[in-house]
Amino acid sequence: MTVGFKAGSIVDEIGTADFLHAFFSTVSYNLEEGWGSRFPILLNHLYQGELKTSLAEEAVIELQLIQQELSVLELDRVIWDIENISRQPPWGDDISPQITSLANYFITSTGRDLILTLLEVLGEAAVRKQTVTIVQC
């Protein structure tokens, strides 16, 4: 079962729920002092399933900072599950040579960069005054 981000009638497929959890786990573990301490809009609102329109612009700012900070982190800093940091991605170390940092590590099931996809979704949601939700695809 896959999940995606829905804004209005458009759904951008992301991948499995574990994959999405891995992205947020990596962010929290590497860039925060506790879940949502630096990035409350994304981790305490969007990750919980819904991001209200009024928070979309702030979410874009948080995500841009996350992208910048993940860009200097090595691939071995990926966290698949913050509740069990010894867990490894299902593909192990077998990743594309085009992946150079944690900023471009997360590629959706449709082959798109997760951060760029989410920036696009959040940007559109802010312009169109739409709520963003996580849905099953």
Question: To the nearest whole number, what is the mean pLDDT of the chain?
Answer: 96
How large a percentage of the chain has pLDDT more than 70? 100
pLDDT for 90 equals: 87
Domain extent for 69: 2-136
pLDDT at position 91: 87
The whole-number pLDDT of residue 93 equals: 82
Q: Return the amino acid letter for 52.
A: K
Confidence band of 53 (pLDDT split at 50, 70, 90): very high
CA 21 to chain centre: 8
> How many domains would you assign to the chain?
1
CB count in 10 Å sphere of residue 63: 22
CB 137 within 8 A of CB 11: yes
End-to-end CA distance of the chain: 7
Q: The domain that contains 29 carries what CATH number?
A: 3.40.1760
pLDDT tens digits for range 58-102: 999 999 999 999 999 999 999 999 999 999 998 888 888 899 999
The predicted structure's pLDDT at residue 94:
84
The rounded distance, in Å, linking the Cα atoms of 4 and 11 is: 6
Residue 29 pLDDT class (50, 70, 90 cuts): very high
Model confidence, pTM:
0.95
CB 82 within 8 A of CB 29: yes
Instruction: Quote the percentage of the chain above a pLDDT of 90.
Output: 93
pLDDT at 95: 87
